[in-house]
């Protein structure tokens, strides 16, 4: 054997070994091994949650391989303003889901920890058309719900993974995914569009600096990413994902940024920082929710501003427009007839096409006693929920049917019951959330909207008489949570230009 032949053999063995290692690392098995390949490689990504330049939270996503498939674990923690300096105030959300090698959802477990308590949920799938969800809260009996999606679903954390599993995205590609949100307990269709492609320089590793007593950047990495644009609950969101399905950056035009970084920079440095200073001015959303009912106002004219002067309001924010809420640039007019109300431009209410349980339809019929006029029926249903269902605090758990039977519920449960009763009466209704003016502050609240001649607000927590022009809709669907307010609209600032009573 001469030297040329020996060199050729050595090079061939080296190339073959390198290929085998690449396949084993990215696909989880040797080339030619039994079973399907992994749709995405295992890995982990860590993120800092920022409002402006200040970090307010930490997030992570981990993908592990199991014998039965992939385990996807998502963790999100946000620190809120403290009522007392020595008492941390934190919202944490964790979800762990197991998928098959074909990225079919098998089971999941979620935990939401807030100052009002802990809400846990577990779920399993049976075939492609049945989800069994069990939700529990301290002091409450666990509730089991059956959900019937029209096609296989995934959890929100798997959206980038499913997108990457279909090959490298191309600008202009469009995807439609069925998503089950464990927090909101609803199935929604997310329509995504690949809007751009770019290179990002992200921190890859860190080293401890004893002089500064904190971690500093050691190395950076260049990552190629694609931007997925979507509208979730009426608010735009842009996710930048890499070829492995890991999120590089998430942008909420009215709220926070979620940026990939090294673990020590995102977590360790964040834990060592003093509490973040929050904007407590009257124009900023309040992160302290009171029990005070809003006072009705006939009309308001508002201007909405972002804290950063170089970040104007997005051109299209469906949740900000329609019904009693109209927008012209950065000016919002609230009140009856303020906004155009095209049915085609409005989001389809979650669950609008699902027949309500018989107990809710029967309950609505008993309350209305033959009333068929939409506005009169809405007033009667709202007054009944306000008077007959006792308000209480705590994590959301009861279904509308359970709240109707117990005659008690949280603010969110009372709103869900009102929406369910309206649907039981044949009306088109949806849950919304946003900011309500309490005194001189804007607080997070949920309420209902029912279509009469337009989307009309109805709030069981409000005073009985007078129009409800004291509120700004931010989300069409989902629940009112401080975590979502921080992420989706934490940078929104409101200044009242004119007020009419």
CA–CA separation, 467 vs 450, rounded Å? 14
**How is 269-293 classified by DSSP, letter by letter?**
HHHHSPPPPP--STTSEESS---PP
CA–CA separation, 244 vs 225, rounded Å? 10
Residue range 340-399, pLDDT digits in tens: 654 434 444 445 445 567 889 999 999 998 888 888 999 999 999 999 999 988 887 888
pTM here is: 0.86
Confidence band of 262 (pLDDT split at 50, 70, 90): very high
Residue range 449-466, pLDDT digits in tens: 999 888 889 999 886 655
Of 289, 301, 343, 281, the residue nearest 472 (C-alpha): 301
DSSP state of 500: E
Residue range 282-321, pLDDT digits in tens: 889 999 888 777 766 667 777 877 655 567 788 889 999 8
Pairing mode, strands 247-251 and 257-261 = antiparallel
């Amino acid at each position: 054997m001469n030297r040329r032949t020996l060199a050729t053999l050595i090079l061939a063995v080296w190339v073959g070994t390198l290929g085998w290692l690449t396949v084993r690392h990215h696909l989880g098995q040797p080339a030619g091994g039994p079973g399907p390949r992994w749709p995405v490689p295992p890995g982990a990504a860590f993120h800092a949650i920022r409002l402006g330049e200040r970090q307010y939270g930490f997030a992570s996503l981990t993908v592990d391989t199991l014998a039965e498939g992939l385990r996807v674990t998502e963790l999100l923690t946000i620190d809120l303003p403290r009522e007392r300096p020595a008492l941390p105030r934190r919202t944490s959300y964790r979800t762990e889901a197991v998928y098959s090698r074909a990225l079919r959802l098998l089971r999941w477990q979620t935990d939401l920890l807030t100052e009002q308590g802990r809400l846990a949920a577990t779920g399993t799938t049976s075939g492609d058309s049945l989800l069994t969800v069990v939700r529990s809260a301290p002091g409450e009996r666990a509730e089991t719900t059956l959900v019937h999606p029209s096609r296989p679903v995934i959890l929100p954390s798997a959206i980038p993974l499913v997108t990457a599993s279909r090959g490298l995205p191309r600008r202009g590609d469009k995807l439609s995914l069925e998503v089950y949100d464990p927090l909101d307990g609803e199935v929604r269709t997310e329509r995504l569009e690949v809007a751009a492609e770019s290179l990002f320089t992200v921190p890859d590793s860190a080293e401890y600096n004893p002089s500064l007593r904190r971690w500093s950047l050691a190395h950076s990495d260049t990552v190629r990413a694609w931007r997925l644009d979507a509208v979730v609950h009426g608010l735009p969101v842009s996710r930048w994902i890499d070829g492995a399905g890991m999120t590089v950056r998430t942008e909420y035009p009215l709220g926070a940024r979620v940026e990939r970084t090294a673990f020590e920079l995102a977590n360790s440095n964040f834990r060592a920082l003093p509490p973040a200073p929050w904007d407590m001015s009257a124009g900023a959303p309040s992160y302290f929710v009171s029990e005070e009912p809003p006072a009705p106002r006939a009309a308001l004219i508002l201007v909405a501003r972002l804290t950063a002067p170089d970040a104007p309001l997005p051109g299209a924010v469906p949740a900000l427009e329609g019904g009693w809420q109209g927008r012209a640039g950065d000016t919002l007019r609230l009140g009856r007839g303020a906004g155009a109300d095209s049915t085609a431009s409005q989001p389809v209410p979650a669950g609008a096409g699902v027949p309500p349980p018989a107990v809710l339809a029967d309950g609505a019929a008993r309350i209305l006693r033959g009333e068929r006029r939409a506005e009169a029926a809405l007033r009667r249903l709202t007054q009944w929920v306000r008077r007959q269902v006792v308000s209480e605090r705590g994590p959301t758990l009861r279904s509308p049917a359970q709240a109707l039977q117990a005659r008690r519920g949280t603010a969110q449960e009372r709103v869900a019951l009102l929406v369910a009763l309206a649907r039981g009466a044949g009306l088109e209704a949806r849950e919304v959330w946003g900011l309500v003016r309490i005194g001189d502050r804007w607080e997070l609240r949920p309420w209902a909207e029912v279509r009469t001649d337009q989307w009309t607000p109805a709030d069981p927590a409000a005073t009985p008489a007078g129009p409800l022009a004291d509120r700004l809709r931010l989300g069409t669907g989902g629940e009112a949570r401080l975590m979502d307010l921080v992420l989706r609209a934490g940078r929104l600032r409101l200044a009242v230009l004119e007020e009419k009573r």
